[in-house]
Every structure is written in C-alpha cells, then in structure tokens.
Amino acid sequence: MGQSYSSKKKKLRVVKKQKIKNQKIDDQLFTKTSTRNKKKELSVLLLGTGESGKSTFLKQMMIINKGGFAKPEYETYKKTIQTNLIIHMEALFKSCLTNNYFIQPKTKDLGNEFLNLVNISHEYTLEKAGFVKALWQDSGLKIAFQKKSQFQIPDTANYFFDTIDAITNKDYKPTNQDILFCRIPTTGVNQMSFDQNNTLWKIIDVGGQRSERRKWIHQFENVDLLIYIVALSEYDQKLFENLDINRLRESLELFGKISNNNYFENKNCVLFFNKIDLFEDKIKTVDLKQCFPDYNGGFDFEAGKHFIKQKFIEKSENSKRNIFSHFTCATNTKNIERVIDAINITVIEYVLKEDGFL
C-alpha cells in the first residue's frame, strides 16, 4: 500500500531540513578553510632578564628569515665590536688587579699603560687594540677569564680577544657569528616581523635590565605567545645592578610574576633555557646547590638542567596554560632553526584549535 500524502509531505520536510543543515556545515567548512589559508598573524612577546640571550635570539631571526643584516647595520656592529674589545679588556685587567690574580710583571706594566689610555677615552684605536692583543698573550689573564662569574664581563669576550687580528684589519667586516657574539644591551622596545610557514610573526623585544622592565606592561595586551628566555649558566653569577642578587634566582622570580599575570591567563608560553653549552661546561666543577640548596644532583648535567626546568614550570600557577620548553644555544643557528620548527608545530596546533578543527 502506498504512502499517504501526509507521510510524503513529512518526509520532504525532513529532507529539506537536512539539505539546509548540510549547506550550513559546508558554508562553515568553507569559511574555516578560507580563514586557515589566510596568513595567520602571531604576536610574540620576548622577555627575560638582562644578558639572557633575547637580543641574540632576535639576531638569529634576522639571519634565518632575512638572510642577515643591512649594510649600515654591519658598520654599526663593527664599531660596537671594536669598542667592546677595549671595554672588556679593561674589565678583565682590572679584575686581575682587584683580585690579585697572578699575571707577569711585564703584563702588569703593559696593562697600566693601557689603562692610562682608556682613562682618556674608550674610543677604539689601533694602539689600544695592540695592547689588548699583547695582554691576552699572558696565560694569567686567560685563567682569570675562567673566573668571570666573579666579575661583570660577557661570556663571549674571549671570542673577540681570540679573533683580534681579523678585527684590527682595515677591511674588517663582521661575520654573522661575530654579530651573534656581540653584546649590546637592549633599551626601549624593538620589533621585527618575518614569515614562517604562512604565519606572520611579529616579535616584540623589551630590554631585560631592571630599569627597562617598567616598559613591559605596555606590551602585554594583544599578545598571542610569550617566549621567556633563561640563561642556565648564570646560576653562580650576580646581577649587574645588584651584586647581592643571584641572576638565575632573579630570572625565576621574574618568570613567576610574568607567567601569573592576568594578561597571560590564556596564552601559550615557551621557555627557552639558553646557554646550555656554557651550563654543561660549568656544572662539571660548579655545584648548582649554591643557587638552589635543595638540589642534590651533584655535577650531573642532565640532573641539573631538568631540576632548573622543573623550578620554572612550578612557578606557573595556571595549570590550564600550555608551557613548552626547549634547551637552546642562541648563538648556534642550526639549534635555533630546530627550535623554531618545533614552535611552529605548536603554533599550527594553536591555529587549528582556534579555528575549531581540534
């Protein structure tokens, strides 16, 4: 027996409703696909204490994504490197005198002549560079440099002492490696943009020194991702601004304040545990216990780095926030490339979740 008129009508209504529903799903999928094909903008805030490696990371982004630096920038870095050569040797030689480190009498005489010149001006000259080269020949200064955690001098100063012949050449042009090792404290706010896997990264870098941190709050809004950089090797060093405060403890306390700020309540966070190469070398002889009394891992590299990582993760009180961590060497371009690839996977997942696909 055939279907009744009312049954057929009811069936047609059901089919029509299903078609409308299917069309809505198709429209939503088309909209989401179009959104995904558009370039995603990712606003990244780069934070960390002074000398943690933030600026080095930013320079790596220039090298990896923009092929290097503009000609005027190379000239600026050249002047900075040459001036730093003088300033760093002054700091090293003065530390030898202050701490009574052994150096040859002849070296001490040369050093005093060098200081007389530097007291007039820190401007780079070939004469001053000649003194730097002569002073660095003394093994006593090299031994003193190994104790650099006891005074304020960059970890990379010896790199430039060792390459002084290239730096004093009249045709000297800094290599990308030279620029990565060059230290210029960040002041104010620096920004750069680059493309990565159909994503436009906008990175904001703010100075890490205490005097610069009051500017951070103005950068917190509209941030998609926080990258916080920690210098692992600074566990036996003091702040430049306050010689009573341990650098790594300062970084840990600061991360606690930042990660629990309301602005970052729903934001992903990436922890870069930087200077892993220096940390691996240092922990062979310098116990992490002097920074963290509850550490019992001795001089073990793996135990030490994972202990510090856990200390930082525990500082975040928001259990819903994703915290991704990477051990890095910011002066190693290949290492940073691998880390950025890993972050891109995080970013892609973030975009898919935002678009409702995960």
Catalytic residues: 51, 56, 183, 205, 209
Contact by Cβ (8 Å): 264, 305? no
What backbone phi and psi angles, to 5 degrees, belong to 244? -95, -5
How far, in Å, CA of 331 to CA of 192, rounded?
Answer: 19
For 209, half-sphere exposure in the C-beta direction (CA atoms, 13 angstrom radius) is 11
Among 94, 110, 31, 45, which residue's Cα sits nearest to residue 270? 45
Question: How many residues in total does the chain contain?
Answer: 358
Contact by Cβ (8 Å): 238, 247? yes
How far, in Å, CA of 179 to CA of 190, rounded?
Answer: 17
Contact by Cβ (8 Å): 115, 93? yes
How far, in Å, CA of 78 to CA of 183, rounded?
Answer: 12
How far, in Å, CA of 255 to CA of 3, rounded?
Answer: 72
Query: Is the sign of the CA dihedral 104, 110, 112, 115 positive or negative?
Result: negative
Neighbours of 93 (CB within 10 A): 26
